[in-house]
Structure 1
Amino acid sequence: MFNASVVISVGSSASLLFWEDPWIQGLFVAAVAPEVLKLVRPGVVKRRSVRDGLLNHAWATDIVGELSVDAVVQYLRLSAAVVVVPINGGADTFRWKWTEDGTFTVRSAYRMFFHGTTTLPGAVHVWNSFAPYKFRFHAWLSLRGRCLLVPNDFST
């Protein structure tokens, strides 16, 4: 959720990880070339910065093993995507999508989890009533249409 909520602007690219961060126009390498990523050792994935990877195409040397046809196609797609990413001399910036000024707050992170949910009309009145809890719970279930029907015939 964090990676989906952060927009990264590539600056000097020293603080970004080549294989893990969404630096390719907001995409991860795993989204562009998942078969290629499978051929990179986990230790290299955690260490290779974007700046080091782009220097003399060092990222290509991280790939070990035989490439399948799908991996070759994805390698070419990744190679083309890496070339078009502009790198300037400034600092890498991380912008939080859920606030206007782009700074992270715990409040905005909490609200992010409920983005797109709807409220239940009448639920506030049910929970603020002075009725016993079991009646409030039953009223809340009935508002949601989740009450179980009990048969009237107990003769069986």
Structure 2
Amino acid sequence: MATKKYFFSYGSFSIKDGSEIRSWEDKWLGNATLREQYPALYNIVRHKGDTIATVMESFPPNVTFRRDLIGPRLQSWYILLQRLSMVQLSYGSDVFRWNLHENGKFSVESMYRALIQSDVPVDNNKKIWKMKIPLKNKIFAWYLRRGVILTKDNLIKRNWHGSPRCVFCHHDETI
């Protein structure tokens, strides 16, 4: 899902037993996923969705590849093995921490702000329509992208006569 990529990019995992964190797809070892750090290995790994607990249940790690590792892939594998040897699993459930909030908990407001203030512009509307989310959310995102949400600042542009203040925060209401 396209939305999952955006969601997980604003958070990080705290490893405990490794049963909830996907070893290749989630950000847990460094500032990027193993998929992004080692693309050549990711392309030939057999079980891309394995959790850290599954991978780390034995030594060497429980990872199999569709091809032999030679040359740069073998070097990448040795580097990854060194990094994995420093990981220690413990008892308890893995925890996802939302990095956009001080308390580490997800809020729609923080996700919304991150998406609209993102440095990465949305290329076109095709990405919105391909997302696997309900249609009403796609339509809302499309309206938001076009800037036609009927917030009070847009209503005033259309000769609406009312207070521009938000009823909740008492600031001027904008998209």
TM over 0.5: yes
Figure out how many residues of one structure are paired with residues of the other and give that number.
Answer: 123
User: Which deviations, in whole Å up to 9, do the C-alpha atoms of 1:17-44 show, x marking residues without a partner?
Assistant: 1221112134311233211111113xx2
| Pair 125,104 (structure 1): closer, same or farther in 2 beyond 3 Å | closer
Matching of residues 83-102 of structure 1 within 5 Å: 83-102=85-104
Which residue in 2 is equivalent to 1:63?
65
AA at the equivalent of 1:9: S
Which structure 1 segments of 5+ residues have no match?
118-123, 132-156
Which residue in 2 is equivalent to 1:40?
45
| Pair 61,130 (structure 1): closer, same or farther in 2 beyond 3 Å | closer
Moved runs in structure 1, 4+ residues, more than 3 A? Answer: 57-61, 124-131
SS in structure 1 opposite 2:56? Answer: helix
AA at the equivalent of 2:33: F
Task: From 5, 8, 11, give the equivalent of 2:10.
Answer: 5
User: Which deviations, in whole Å up to 9, do the C-alpha atoms of 1:88-119 show, x marking residues without a partner?
Assistant: 212211011111111111111111113367xx
Which structure 2 segments of 5+ residues have no match?
1-5, 120-151, 160-175
Which residue in 2 is equivalent to 1:25?
30
Which residue in 1 is equivalent to 2:116?
114
Identity of aligned residues (%): 20
Structure with larger RCO (C-alpha < 8 A, sep 6+): 1
Conservation of the 8 A alpha-carbon contact between 2:13 and 2:94 = yes
Give the alignment's TM-score, normalised by structure 2. Answer: 0.60
- Residue 66 of structure 1: CA displacement? 2.3
Q: Which has more radius of gyration?
A: 1
TM-align CA RMSD: 2.6
